[in-house]
Structure formats: structure tokens, C-alpha cells
Amino acid sequence: MEHLIAYGPGDIATVFGRAFELAMQIERERFLGAGLYERTQAREGYANGYKAKRIDTSAGTVSVQVPKTAGHDGEPFYPQSLERTRRSVRAVVLSVAEMYIKGVSTRQAEAVMREFGIESLSSSQVSRATKLLDEELEAWRNRPLGEIRYLILDARYEKMRHGGVVRDAAVLSVIGVGPDERRRVLGVSVALSEAEVHWRRFLESLVVRGLRGVEFIVSDDHAGLRAARRAVLGGATWQRCQFHLSQNAIHHAPNAMIRKRIGSELRIVWNAETLPKAETALAELVASYRDTAPKLAAWLEENVPEGLVVFTLPEHYRRRLRTSNPMERAVQQELKRRTAKVRVFPGEDALLRLVSAILVEIDEQWASDTKAYIKWECQDA
């Protein structure tokens, strides 16, 4: 739609009007070819002016002048350029769907469509337009997978109507790194929560699609995700996201002074050169809080080692895989930006449709990236 918006309002309306006039001229020529305009004894019917008609399409309402015929038997003339029953303008519908996916609000889309002669555009019409994308998005969500060595799992929440009430719906998503050294968005699912049953169904669907060779998984420590991961991908090594660990430590800090400094103290552990040095730094940190904050010390001693698993990977991989930030920044923030204008989704189908379309764009961008995300030849530990 960018090239259309570059025109002025009068220009766009003129272009749309001329396109319809051309279509009517083609119908007139069809009239002539059928003998309807020729004055012959065999001709039974004749042209009888035009009839103004408002056509409700799935993109909105359009006013047109439809040619009329009279004085003949049988089916009356009707332009082939207009479907007699459904009457949809597919090009405009796809443009509306594209604007919706790009994050354009219904009001803004309506203003653009009005320049085409479309007089109204409701949110329900926008929703019907975007359903044209369903088949393509469904194929993308179920496309075959293959060998994926590293996975990053995460979820975010959106408002959605369910059973007549507004609820928080979990958008489960996963990205992975395979032999081609590029990140890929592997799949997405919408569920009512992050309970084990939902995460497990999602992970099992990845396996059914051919996911194999998973060696390393990065995620937070949500109970449902943890149980599902162990059940479906129990053979893979798990790295607990260091960023989420730091946030959890702040919540366990007993006072404001400790909350201010615990993050920087943990960064010393995260940034250690080797696993033994990281373990030594952690032991010193735990010892420093043993007397002043014993509960925090016990929590650090029990949980922080789950964030040190990344040290078993080659050094060049660690910054990429020590947190779920690659998912948070590239995927979750983009989803948040695009879904902000919707606020409350009318149902699961609408939510899944929009997030799938956004993730398709991200996946295509990553697939075409010329720079590798992880170079497999960098194996020096």
C-alpha cells in the first residue's frame, strides 16, 4: 500500500474511478459482441441505462453504476466484473489484510480505503479480510522441520475473549538454530495458560513435524514448561535464562540495598571466563550473604548453578545462548508492538492469525540473512 499512499486523495479516487469505467467499457464491448447494441430484427433486448448500486464487499461498501437491459427473455445482463452473489474485491481485501498485519489501526485503514471509494470499513470486515491468510499461515505452522541443535522457548500474554469474558492468553513460541547456522522461528501456539498440558502439546507438535537432534534448550523456569520439556525433550541439556535468574534474585533480596547491587554481583558470575571461575565467584557471593541474608544465600546456592550450564558450550556460543533475550528482543517485543493497537482479540483464531503472520515475517528475514547466527566451526571451548 505504500505506493498508493504516496498519491493525493483526489488522485487515488480518480484512479479507482477510471479502473471501474474501464471495466464497464469492457462490458459494453461484450454487449456489442453479443449483438445487444446492434439494431437487427433478431435482437430482442436493448440497453436501458444504468442503475446505482451499493455493493457490500468484504473490504467495505462501494457505490457503482451497473448497466441495465430490457425487452428480452431469460437472464438479465450483469457485468462479469462483479460477482453476482459474493461480490468481493480481492485486491482491496488483500491490501486491508496486509495493513492489519503491519499494525495499521482500523481507523487508519478506513481512511485509506475511503480514497478508493469504499465508504465504510468495520473491524469485522477487517477480520474477514485477514482470514484470506489462514491457509498460508496454517501451512507455515505445520511445515516440516528437521535437525535443530539449539532451542529457545518463551511465552507472552495477550488479552483475548473466551467464553464471553476477557482472559489472558499465552502465546507460546520457539526459535531454533540448525545446520544452516541461522535462527528460525519454528512454531507458535495460543493457549489459555502456560500449564504443562499446553507446553507439552506444543512441544509434541514440533516432534511430530520432524524436530530432531536437539542438544541444548534455553528458557525460564516456569513450572509448566519445565515439566513439559523434561517429558518431551528430556535428553537435551537445559540452560536457565540468566536474565530471569537475576530478576528472581532481586525479588528474593530482603532489602533495597541488596536489591540494588545483587544484579551487578551476579554479572561477575555470568561473565567469568570458565566454569570453575564462575563456580568460585558464586561460592564467594553465597558466603557473603550467609549471615546477613541467609534465605537469599540458600536460594542463590540452589538456583544459580542452573544458569551456569552454558559454560559447557564453546565460548563463541555462550553470549547467544545464556539467556532467552534473543527471543525477547527479536520476537516478543515485535509482537507487543504489533498487537498493542488491537488490545483485546475477539477470539483464539484472530490472535493466532496475527501472531503467526508476524512470525512469518521474522522467519523470512532471518532465513535471508547473509550473516550466520552461530558458526559451527567455532568449537574451541
Render 245-293 in DSSP notation, one character per residue: HHHHHHHH-SSHHHHHHHHHHHHHHHT-SSHHHHHHHHHHHHHHHTTT-
Model confidence, pTM:
0.69
Instruction: Report the chain's mean pLDDT, rounded to a whole number.
Output: 78
Closest CA to 2 of 102, 117, 140: 102
Question: What is the rounded distance in angstroms from the CA atom of residue 196 to the CA atom of residue 205?
Answer: 14
Mean pLDDT is lowest, of 22-36, 158-172, 193-207, for 22-36
- 129 or 337: which carries more pLDDT confidence? 337
pLDDT higher at 232 or 347: 232
Q: How does residue 286 score in pLDDT terms, banded at 50, 70 and 90? A: very high
Would you call 85 helix, strand, or coil by DSSP?
Answer: coil
So what's the pLDDT on residue 114? Answer: 65
Q: Which residue has the higher pLDDT, 348 or 40?
A: 348
Residue 49, classed as helix, strand or coil, is strand
State yes or no: pLDDT of 353 exceeds 70: yes
Q: With 90 as the cut, is the pLDDT of residue 205 above it?
A: yes
Share of the chain above pLDDT 90, in %: 34
Going by their DSSP bridges, the two strands 237-240 and 344-345 should be labelled as unpaired
Q: Where are the beta strands (DSSP E) in the chain?
A: 46-57, 60-70, 150-162, 165-177, 183-191, 216-219, 237-240, 344-345
Q: Which residue has cell 509448566? A: 224
- In this prediction, residue 340 carries a pLDDT of 80
Q: In 3-state terms, what secondary structure has residue 52?
A: strand
Cβ burial 301-318 (10 Å sphere, 16+ → b, else e): beebeebbbbbebeeebb
The predicted model gives 298-302 an average pLDDT of: 92
> Stretch 23-29: mean pLDDT, rounded?
59
Segment among 83-87, 288-292, 316-320, 330-334 with least mean pLDDT: 83-87
Supply the pLDDT for residue 325: 86
Percent of the residues in the chain that have a pLDDT greater than 70, as a whole number: 69
pLDDT of amino acid 113: 64
Segment 136-171, tens digit of pLDDT: 888 999 999 999 999 999 999 999 888 888 999 999
Q: Which residues contact 137 (CB under 8 A, 6 or more apart)?
A: 353, 356, 357, 360
Task: Please give the DSSP secondary-structure letter assigned to residue 146.
Answer: -
Q: Rounded distance, CA 236 to CA 106, Å?
A: 45
Q: How far apart are CA 278 and CA 217, in angstroms?
A: 20
Beta strands at 237-240 and 216-219: parallel, antiparallel or unpaired: parallel
User: Cα separation of 316 and 314, whole Å?
Assistant: 6
Tell me, what's the pLDDT at 24? 59
Please report the pLDDT score of residue 10 as a whole number. 45
Q: What is the pLDDT of residues 250-268, one digit of tens each?
A: 998 889 998 889 989 999 9
What is residue 336's predicted lDDT score, i.e. its pLDDT?
Answer: 87
**246: Cβ–Cβ under 8 A, 6 or more apart, which residues?**
262, 263, 266, 267
Handedness of CA 324, 327, 332, 337 (dihedral sign): positive
Q: Are strands 165-177 and 150-162 parallel, antiparallel or unpaired?
A: antiparallel
Contact (Cβ atoms closer than 8 angstroms) between residue 149 and residue 181 = no
pLDDT of residue 106: 62
Q: Helix or strand or coil: residue 51? A: strand
